[in-house]
Amino acid sequence: MSTFSFRQQVVFAFLLFVLLLMLVPRAGYDGDVHYWIEWASYIFEHGLGNVYQLESNNYNPLYHHILWVYDQMMGSMEKVQYYIRFLKGFTLLFDFAGAFWAASLVPERERRFGLALLLLFNIGYLYNTLLWIQVDSIYTFLAFGAVVLAVRRHVASSAAFFVLAMAAKTQAIIFLPPLLLLWGPQWWHRPWGMVRAGLVAVGTATLVLAPFIWWSWESYLPRIISLNLNAAEMYPKVSMFAYNMWFLLMPAGQPQATSDKLVVAGLTYRNWGMLLFFVSSAIALCSVCWCSSRSALSKWRGSSATPPPKFPPHRSPRPRSRSSWPR
């Protein structure tokens, strides 16, 4: 891919973005699309800060900011409703940003554009956005950015990205344990960094929440907090068409009809899910810690095995002959 100039890469990426945006024009799950229309229309008529007046609104604040931007671009209620399926363009931006950011981590610059295209031409990477018009790539991009910034020791920026990820979807909480493992050592060596990261996180959250607290008919902060604390009670079923492990173990149609509070083998389905999640996370984190410790140990052994530097033997200055003395 080194044959492409930077300008050619930008043009190609833009054309690919437009092509993907136009692809599958009638895509999307009708139930979700109905909510996008309802929320975007309400924001257009009553303002961003009052969207939590709708009982159907169970999303965190960040996506409503995107809906507000979409409203401003459309300019009329008719266009807001007619072009609603092009909302996937906003989410597609995060897909592209994630692909190019991930590719930028490769040391060889000439390979980065090709690797980004490998992701963008992979239907498994884009189908959730293109076919279902879902918004999960927004919070996954932000969580990915939080991890990358934490590895690069930009703790304050990492905290801001994680707050934005949580403001997009509550599911981003699953990234908190590995982030704490990355933040912890840096805070230990630089305690002031923890204070700075906390201030940046609070400031970011305040900016996101401000329209729903101060620029609205009433403060909707209690409702937003309640939505996050009770997220598991929104769809208390074993699986909402996720087609996960339970679809292999249970009869057809049972996962989406069975309460996740039903006890099986001493634990509820919900507790089994949490247990399996923590076990799989521990396995993944242990493998990462093991690889990191081996790398650190090999570097330490290499440094300890290095012989001390050799200096030339010390020689006493030779006395000058009498004939060389000044007269």
Q: For the segment 132-144, what is each residue's pLDDT rounded down to a tens digit?
A: 999 999 999 999 9
Q: Which residues contact 225 (CB under 8 A, 6 or more apart)?
A: none
Q: Which of 2-11, 21-30, 140-149, 240-249 has the highest mean pLDDT?
A: 140-149
Q: Supply the angle between the helices 176-189 and 191-213 in degrees, to the nearest 10.
A: 130
Q: Are 275 and 260 in contact (CB under 8 A)?
A: no
Confidence of residue 284 (pLDDT cuts 50, 70, 90): confident
Confidence of residue 317 (pLDDT cuts 50, 70, 90): low
Q: Is the pLDDT of residue 230 over 80?
A: yes
Q: Is the pLDDT of residue 325 over 50?
A: no
Mean pLDDT, rounded, for 217-227? 95
Q: Which of 167, 163, 166, 143 is nearest to 66 (CA)?
A: 167
Return left, alpha or beta for 265; rule: phi > 0 is left, psi -120 to 50 is alpha, else beta: left
Mean pLDDT, rounded, for 95-105? 97
Count the neighbouring beta carbons within 10 Å of the beta carbon of residue 218.
13
9-18, 81-90, 218-227, 314-323: segment of lowest average pLDDT: 314-323
Give the per-residue pLDDT at 244.
80
Number of helical (H) and strand (E) elements in the chain, helices listed first: 14, 2
Confidence of residue 287 (pLDDT cuts 50, 70, 90): confident
Q: Is the pLDDT of residue 262 over 60?
A: yes
Question: How large a percentage of the chain has pLDDT more than 90?
Answer: 65
Q: Are 27 and 84 in contact (CB under 8 A)?
A: no
Confidence of residue 327 (pLDDT cuts 50, 70, 90): very low
Confidence of residue 2 (pLDDT cuts 50, 70, 90): low
Confidence of residue 252 (pLDDT cuts 50, 70, 90): confident
Q: Is the pLDDT of residue 214 over 50?
A: yes
Mean pLDDT, rounded, for 103-109? 94
Q: Is the pLDDT of residue 297 over 80?
A: no
Q: CA 49, CA 212: separation in Å to the nearest integer? A: 4
Mean pLDDT, rounded, for 49-77? 97
